[in-house]
Structures are given as structure tokens and as C-alpha cells.
Amino acid sequence: MKTIDLSDSFEGALSDALALPDSDHSPISDETMAKALRRLFAAAHGRSVVTAIGLIPVAPAMVPSLKTAPLSLRSRAELLVLADKVCEFNRKVSKNGSGTIACR
């Protein structure tokens, strides 16, 4: 079991995520893993844009609790399932008018 700490830098979390083993079913590419981790990272930290005057936050964290404790995962597939669940929850909330879509 490997831990991924979303309170760490994206690069550090990505390094840990890429070290996860593939599941038995089919291999998952590094690019797919990076996209899934980016969605989780955006849900945990919000979104920001780098400008000439510095980093500007443009969207709040939708699930800030993701960064309170490391994630314990056994495979790359588990990270993909978690990213899909977090994004699906955010979509349902936005359909009710009480949130915004943070993941795409």
C-alpha cells in the first residue's frame, strides 16, 4: 500500500502516484494518472492562475478535506476510481444549484 499526500506539492504527489503498481486488468498510462491526480489536487486546493503579479486563486477548493490526511492506495486503478467519485459528487452538487463543477 502506498500513500499519496495531497498537502504535498503536486510534483511530490505525482511521483508517489506514478510509483503505484498497475492493477491486474490493464495498464494505466502515466498521462492518465497525472490527469486524475490533477483533478484530485484541484478539488483539494482549488484552482489558481500564474500571472505577472503572482499566483491568483480563481476557484475555491471543493473538497479541502482531501489534503488533511494522506490517501492510502494499492493500485493506479484505485486513484482513478477516487478521482471519478470526487468529480461525480461535485457534478451532482452543481446540478442542485449549490456548487460548481470543479473537475472535467
At 13, list the grid cell: 504527489
pLDDT for res 88: 76
Check residue 100 and give its pLDDT: 46
Mean local confidence (pLDDT), 19-24? 86
| Predicted confidence (pLDDT) at residue 21 exceeds the cutoff of 90 | yes
Contact criterion met (CB below 8 Å) for 72 and 55: no
pLDDT at 15: 96
Mean pLDDT of all residues in the chain? 85
Give mean pLDDT, residues 27-49. 93
pTM score: 0.79
